[in-house]
Structure 1
Amino acid sequence: MDGNRVKNPAVIRFNHSPGEEITNAREVLTGCCVIPKFPRNVGLHLDYVGQLPSVVPRGHVRVRLTTRPIQHVDMKIIRTGGYKELRSRDFVTIGAEGVGFIHEIGEDVKSDLHRNQRVMPVLFWDNLLKKGNGSWQSYVDVAEENVFPLPEVSKESADYVPDEVAAQFVITAWTALGLFHTAVAGIQEGRFLLLSAPSSTIGRHVLGISKSKNINIIAVVRKDEQKSLFKEMGVEHVICANSSKEVFVEQVKKITGEGGAHAAIDGVGAETTMKLGACLRDEGELLIFDNAAGTDSDDHVKISLGDLKRKIQVKWWTLTDYVKIRKGNREETREAMTKLFNETLNLYKEKLLIFPTHEKVFTFDELPEALDVIGEIKNDFHKCKLLLVNHKE
C-alpha cells in the first residue's frame, strides 16, 4: 500500500487536548487508504498526532470541532494536491469548514467569547491555506476575529442553528450571497439575472436568496428533463443550454425583451459562458465562479468578440476577493464576513437557504466508506453534503 502514496498526501489529524485520555488511538486511526474511484491514486494518510501544545496562541481560541462537511475544495486537495499554497507542504490537514465549541481561550482575546460556547470558526484562509491546518481534526486554534458565535438558544428555539447547517455556511452560502450581491449591485428591482448550474449547492442558494429580493432569475439547466424540477421549486423561468447559441438567445429574449438580461452568474464555463454573454444587455456583467465543464487539460471559457465590443464585463469572481482577504486589512475582512454571517443566519431562519445532507453521518474511521459514497454519487455530490463527526451519538 505504501507504493500508492503520493508525495503530498492529505492528512486527517487526530489530536487531543492536554489531560484528555486517548485509548488505542494509534491502532484505530493510523493507516493509509487509496481512493480508487478517482482519476489518480491519491494517498490519504490517517495519522494520530498526539497532544496539542498546552498554551493557546495569543489572540486565539482553541475550538473543539464536532462536525465538518466534505466539501468540493476538500476533494480537490485529495485528488490533485489542491491549491498552490498547499502543494509545497509535506502534509496537510484538510477540511475547509466546520463547527464546534470553544475549549480554551488564549491571552489577549478581547471579544466576549467564552468556554463551551458553540461557534463557527472560519478556517479556509488563515488556517487551511496559510498553515495547512483545516477542520478534519479534533481541535484547532483559531484567531478570535475568525470565530463567530452561534445563537445560544435551546434546540427547540426557532433561532437554533444545527451543527450540520452552521458547518456549511462559508464555502457555499457565503459564496452564493457574495455572487448575488455583486451581480445585482447595479440592477434595479424586477430586472433579470441569468444563472447557470442552478442545481449546484451554490446555485440553489442563489435561487433562495433571490426570493428575498425582487430579482427575476432565469435558471439555465443542461438537460430538458431538469426543467420540471425547477418549475416545481417555483422558478418561473427555466431554459436549457443544450441548444444552439441562436436558439438560446431567442429563448432568453422572449423572457426579457429585446434588450436581454442585465447580469449573469456562471458556474459551468466553456460554451455556456459564450451563450450567457450573448444574452446580456450592452455593458452587462458576467461573473464566473467555477468552470464545471472544464478539465485539467482544457479549462477555457469562451466569449465572442462581438460581445466584448458591446462592453460585456466578464469577471472571475472569488469569495476571497469579496471578503477582502488579499487587501490584508483584517478589520475590513471581519466586517465583510460579519455581514455575510448575519445575513446567512437570517435567510436560514426564513427558510430561504436549505442545507441538505446525506442520510448517513460518518466518523473519521469510516472515512474510506464516505469517500466510496462520494464516488458512487459524484454526479449528485453537489446536491447534499456528507458530514464527518468525531463520534456518533
Structure 2
Amino acid sequence: MKAVRFAAFGTPHRVAECVEVPEPGAPADGEVALEMEACPINPVDLLTIAGEYAVRPSLPAVAGSEGVGRVVEVGPGVHHLAVGDRVVPLGRETWVQRRVVKAREVIKAPADADVLQLAMIKINPATAQLMLERYVELASGEWVIQDAANSAVGQHVVRLAQARGIHTANIVRRDGLSESLRRIGADAVVVDGDDLPERVREQTGGAAIRLAIDAVAGEICMRLGDCLADGGIVVNYGLLSGRPCMLRPDQTVFRGITLTGFWLVKALGQMQAAAIADLYGGLVRRVTEGRLRVEVEATYPIEAIADALEHAARSERGGKILITPNGAPS
C-alpha cells in the first residue's frame, strides 16, 4: 500500500515522498482497520516534516496528523463499530491508504456527513472551541479578538463564537478578506497596522474585550494587548511570524494583561476520555448539520504529495489542501 513518508527533515515538498509500505495486517483485540478517505495538510504537518515542531518523530516517519476513514475490518472485542462505519481517528500517521488503530481512539461519524469537513475536525475546530472555553467565561454579547482570522482556526472561532452569541473582532493582514469573513458571521474585520487598537475600538463600540487569540506571535501580541480591557488575556497557539511573543511591561505590570500558550496535544492529554468524546461528538454534529465548515481549495491524490505540499505552503490560498489516499471519497 502507499504512504507518505520522510526520511530526513527539510522542505516538506522536497523530503516527503509517496512510497510503498507493508500492509498493516489484521486488527488485534480492541482494534479496527481503516481505509483512509481524506487527510488535510495542516501547519503542524509542515512543521513536523521540516523538523521544527515540538515533537520530532524518529526517522523514517509516516506523515499526517488527522483525517477520516472507513472501517474495513473489526478486531475481536469491538462491538460499537462495524465494517463500513465512517470514523475520525484521533492518532497520527494518517497519510496512508490503510491503517490499524485502537477502536477507542476513533470518533464515529454519520455516513452522510461531508467527508472533507470531517477530515479536518480533529485539530482546528477543537483548538478553536477549547480556546474560546478554557480561559475566559464569555457571555453572550461579549467580544473576542483574534489575528489570522482568515485561517482555518480563525474561521472556526467565528462560527463557534457566533453560535454562542459572542461577537468577533477579526484581524487580517491585507484588504480583500473582509467579505469572506463577514459571510461566515464575522462582526468586525480590521487590517493590522500601528493604529489597530483605535480602529478596533471604532468597530466594536469601545467594548471591553477580555480574550485575544493569537496565531502569529511577535509584535502583534502587543497590539492585541492594547485592544484588551485591563486583566485581559492573550492566548497564543501559533508562530506564523517566527518571532517571540511580546508584551510591554506597562501592559503586564500596570494593566494586568497576561499571555499564555495553547497546544491541543497538551490540552487533550489533560482531559478525560468522556470529555474528549463529548468535544468531538459535538463538533461532528455541527459538521453534519452544516454549521461548521472551512473552504477547501484543492484535493490531491496521495501520489501527488509533492505538489500538494507545495500548494499548502503558499501564503495566498483561499482554502485548505487535502490528500485523498484512496481516490475521491464516495
* Superposition TM-score tier, normalisation by shorter sequence: 0.7 to 0.9
TM-aligned CA distance change 1:34 to 1:169, over 3 Å: same
1:264 Cα deviation from its structure 2 partner: 0.8
Deviations 1:166-218 (A, max 9, x none): 111112111111122225x4222211111111100110111111221111111
Aligned partner of 2:71 in structure 1 is 102
Aligned partner of 1:354 in structure 2 is 293
| Other structure's SS at 1:100 match | strand
| Other structure's SS at 1:188 match | coil
Partners of 1:381 and 1:336 lie apart in 2 by 34
In the alignment, which of 213, 216, 227 is matched to residue 164 of structure 2? Answer: 213
TM-aligned CA distance change 1:42 to 1:196, over 3 Å: same
1:68 Cα deviation from its structure 2 partner: 1.6
In the alignment, which of 207, 219, 231 is matched to residue 271 of structure 1? Answer: 219
In the alignment, which of 233, 251, 256 is matched to residue 285 of structure 1? Answer: 233
Deviations 1:352-381 (A, max 9, x none): 32232234x322222233234335xx1134
Partners of 1:259 and 1:353 lie apart in 2 by 27
Please tell me the residue identity of whatever aligns with 2:177: Q
**1:189 has 2:132 as partner:** no
Partners of 1:283 and 1:32 lie apart in 2 by 45
1:271 Cα deviation from its structure 2 partner: 1.2
TM-score by length of 1: 0.74
Q: Name which one, 1 or 2, has greater alpha-carbon Rg.
A: 1
1:62 Cα deviation from its structure 2 partner: 1.7
TM-aligned CA distance change 1:333 to 1:144, over 3 Å: farther
Q: Choose between structure 1 and 2 for higher RCO, CA contacts under 8 A separated by at least 6 residues.
A: 2
Partners of 1:144 and 1:270 lie apart in 2 by 41
Partners of 1:365 and 1:256 lie apart in 2 by 48
How many residues were matched structurally?
Answer: 328
| Other structure's SS at 2:190 match | strand
In the alignment, which of 130, 134, 152 is matched to residue 178 of structure 1? Answer: 130
Identical columns (%): 21
| Other structure's SS at 2:219 match | helix
TM-aligned CA distance change 1:312 to 1:253, over 3 Å: same
41-50 or 173-182, larger mean C-alpha shift: 41-50
Structure 1 alignment gaps of length 5 or more: 1-12, 16-28, 129-133, 153-159
In the alignment, which of 234, 239, 245 is matched to residue 190 of structure 2? Answer: 239
Partners of 1:64 and 1:300 lie apart in 2 by 40
**1:250 has 2:198 as partner:** yes
**1:367 has 2:312 as partner:** no
TM-aligned CA distance change 1:380 to 1:338, over 3 Å: farther
In the alignment, which of 230, 249, 252 is matched to residue 305 of structure 1? Answer: 249
Partners of 1:382 and 1:179 lie apart in 2 by 24
1:47 Cα deviation from its structure 2 partner: 2.6
| Other structure's SS at 2:321 match | coil
1:71 Cα deviation from its structure 2 partner: 2.1
TM-aligned CA distance change 1:334 to 1:275, over 3 Å: same
User: Conserved in 2, the CA contact under 8 Å of 1:356 and 1:385?
Assistant: no
Superposition pairs for residues 1-393 of structure 1, below 5 Å?
14=2, 42-54=14-26, 56-78=27-49, 80-87=50-57, 89-109=58-78, 111-123=79-91, 128=92, 134-152=93-111, 160-183=112-135, 185-231=136-182, 233-242=184-193, 244=194, 247-256=195-204, 260-294=208-242, 299-309=243-253, 310-323=255-268, 325=269, 327=270, 332-359=271-298, 361-374=299-312, 378-381=314-317, 383-392=319-328
Please tell me the residue identity of whatever aligns with 1:387: I
1:259 Cα deviation from its structure 2 partner: 6.7
TM-score by length of 2: 0.87
| Other structure's SS at 2:123 match | helix
Partners of 2:180 and 2:318 lie apart in 1 by 16
User: Conserved in 1, the CA contact under 8 Å of 2:36 and 2:97?
Assistant: yes
User: Conserved in 1, the CA contact under 8 Å of 2:114 and 2:287?
Assistant: no
Please tell me the residue identity of whatever aligns with 1:318: W
RMSD over aligned Cα atoms: 2.9
Please tell me the residue identity of whatever aligns with 1:122: L
Please tell me the residue identity of whatever aligns with 1:291: L
